[in-house]
């Protein structure tokens, strides 16, 4: 039926056929054609898929043209490059943060070491002054207060603070013993001077170690 004119087919075979019979015959013919089409697809499915792909590609090439295809290729390449650059930037930022954190730790360690050396020198000076038969009270007080204030700036759990803790405690005991040897009036004056100095000194809001880490 597909190779002949529809009008000719109807005129030749169905000229004097009733309408319901004609409708039934046409539906039967349609079912037969659908069955043949499905059978054709099932028998040659791979060829059918390949044909569809080739038609799509040919249509896309015909519609896009060489210029649009080149632009599409460039955009794809650009998107890939941008993604690679983003990954590289993220890795660089992570490396930079690690370097900064490491530098801060080194600064904190260096600061603690310097303060430890200062305290160690002050303790040596304190011991030397205290060994004098007549220790100069003002100088001894100044060195003692310097030791206390410098030690207070160390992070309590830092290795330097832990090493110097016993030395500072020993200095405190020795200074307390020195105060006991003073006449009562002088002892009161020295105690008041120390209390006043400690109350007027502003404690640091951040130790050098925590400041370096912030």
Task: Give per-10-residue mean pLDDT for the chain (214 aa).
Answer: 52 59 75 74 60 52 59 75 77 80 85 90 93 89 91 88 91 91 88 83 47 42
pTM for the model stands at 0.51
| H helix intervals, 131-183 | 137-152, 159-181
> What pLDDT score was predicted for residue 19?
65
> What pLDDT score was predicted for residue 147?
93
Closest CA to 41 of 31, 30, 50: 50
> What pLDDT score was predicted for residue 112?
87
Dig out the tokens for 188 from the structure. Answer: 């009161």
């Amino acid at each position: 039926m597909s190779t002949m004119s529809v009008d000719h087919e109807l005129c030749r075979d169905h000229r004097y056929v009733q309408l319901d019979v004609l409708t039934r015959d046409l539906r039967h013919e349609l079912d037969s054609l659908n069955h043949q089409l499905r059978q054709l697809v099932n028998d040659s499915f791979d060829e059918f898929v390949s044909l569809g792909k080739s038609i799509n590609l040919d249509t896309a090439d015909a519609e896009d043209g060489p210029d649009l295809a080149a632009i599409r290729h460039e955009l794809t390449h650009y998107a890939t490059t941008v993604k690679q650059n983003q990954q590289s930037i993220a890795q660089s930022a992570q490396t930079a943060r690690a370097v900064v954190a490491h530098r801060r730790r080194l600064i904190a360690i260096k600061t603690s070491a310097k303060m430890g050396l200062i305290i160690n020198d002050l303790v040596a000076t304190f011991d030397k002054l205290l060994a004098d038969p007549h220790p100069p009270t003002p100088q001894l007080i100044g060195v003692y207060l310097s030791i206390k204030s410098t030690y207070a700036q160390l992070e309590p759990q830092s290795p330097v603070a832990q090493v110097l803790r016993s030395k500072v405690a020993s200095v405190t005991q020795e200074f307390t013993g020195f105060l006991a040897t003073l006449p009562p009036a002088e002892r009161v004056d020295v105690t008041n001077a120390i209390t006043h100095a400690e109350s007027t000194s502003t404690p640091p809001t951040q130790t050098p170690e925590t400041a370096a880490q912030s």
